[in-house]
Amino acid sequence: MNTTVANIRVLGIHSLIMKKRKVNFFDIQEYITGLIKKKGGWVNCHAHIDRAYTVTQKNFHLYHAVLSEKWNLVDAMKRKSSVNDIYDRMAVAVENMISQNVSALGTFIDVDETVKDKAILAAMKIREKYKKDIKIIYINQVLKGVLEPKAREWFDVAVQFVDIIGGLPGKDKGHEEKHLEVLLSTAKTLKKMVHVHVDQLNTVTESETELLVKKTKEFGMEGKVVGIHGISIAAHPKHYRDTLYKSMKKAGVMMISCPTAWIDNRRSEELAPTHNAITPVDEMVPAGVIVGLGVDNICDIYVPHIDGSMWSELHLLMAAARFTDIEQLVKIATVNGRKVLGLMENSSNLPIK
């Protein structure tokens, strides 16, 4: 990335343009990014950097495929990628983060029968190369689920390597409970945290966060479980949402918001309370739920238009959730992220490598 782009991200575009002009206004970007810097820099809680920068002119149209199709559409690319290819993509993404003053990054990496252990091998080299510049936390993505024997085999390999156990109950549709049981029992045995993609489709028919809270309590994993997205929560009635937030707070279930990832939610005729397709941060934070920030997919067929800018994500969160509590926004971008990644001193995430 060139210096000008990096400066704009860090300083705010207005401060550069208006240096010579006598116009004073509250430059929110400059103010907030300044506070974030004082808190030790950004924390990016969610990404898939092993697949970053894989969008091409040829595969760009696949963006319009539905999510469950995309889980397999990336197979050919995963098969073809060498460890070096994956390393290079991860390196660009990590350098993108470092250029923005990101101090810690939590990223999923695919480990399954298609990509096998190639992303693990690349991830080890990446961690070594950038250890002085950024703390990287790895989480395993389970695009093949965790229930089929072959999928389970690779899940068992992945969990030995990663810092946090990753989940995607939607992949084991109809068996979401079983999927969560595998994650939580494994995490409990290995004394690791759990990050789970939940409630992604912005529909009242989903209630995966509710199930995640129930299972967290069942396994005694309070304070060690994090949901990712939670978009569908806002499609439920207010009493459901309020009850859910209370139960999340009680069970210490945290949430990661990746604003751009789902703001492109498809038009639907389903009736629901009016809302933007974003984690309901404006309700969760006042209810005491810990929320962190992530970028999710960077320039791949899932979301070709996410470039990894942390400010863009926080800015969209602020706008789409109409959430302007600056103190809390700074926490979302910094200290909450460290809690979500198990990086606090009194963290429940025990073995961070």
State the residues that interact with Zn ion by CB under 5 A: 296
Q: How far is the CB of 147 from Zn ion (least distance, A)?
A: 20
Distance CA 123, CA 112 (A): 15
Q: Are 126 and 94 in contact (CB under 8 A)?
A: yes
Q: How far is the CB of 55 from Zn ion (least distance, A)?
A: 16
Nearer to Zn ion, 7 or 265 (CB): 265
Q: Which helix (H) or strand (E) holds 141?
A: strand 135-141
Token pair in block for residue 93: 């993404």
Nearer to Zn ion, 32 or 138 (CB): 138
Q: How far is the CB of 228 from Zn ion (least distance, A)?
A: 6
Length of the chain (residues): 353
Nearer to Zn ion, 47 or 159 (CB): 47
Q: Are 68 and 170 in contact (CB under 8 A)?
A: yes
Token pair in block for residue 171: 């992949």
Residue nearest Zn ion, Cβ-based: 296
Nearer to Zn ion, 283 or 296 (CB): 296
CA distances from 46 to 151, 238, 289, 306 (A): 22, 27, 17, 13
Q: Are 284 and 334 in contact (CB under 8 A)?
A: no
- Give the sheet arrangement for strand 254-257, strand by strand: 42-44, 102-110, 135-141, 164-167, 193-198, 225-229, 254-257, 291-293
Q: How far is the CB of 33 from Zn ion (least distance, A)?
A: 25
Q: Are 297 and 93 in contact (CB under 8 A)?
A: no
Distance CA 78, CA 112 (A): 10
Nearer to Zn ion, 199 or 296 (CB): 296
Kindly tell me the number of DSSP H helices and DSSP E strands found in the chain.
16, 8
Q: How far is the CB of 257 from Zn ion (least distance, A)?
A: 12
Q: How far is the CB of 200 from Zn ion (least distance, A)?
A: 9
> Which residues have a Cβ under 8 Å from the Cβ of 319 and sit 6 or more positions away?
none
Nearer to Zn ion, 143 or 151 (CB): 143
Write the Ramachandran bin of 290: left for phi over 0, alpha for psi from -120 to 50, otherwise beta: beta
Q: How far is the CB of 256 from Zn ion (least distance, A)?
A: 9
Token pair in block for residue 333: 């971008």
Q: How far is the CB of 253 from Zn ion (least distance, A)?
A: 17
Distance CA 51, CA 257 (A): 20
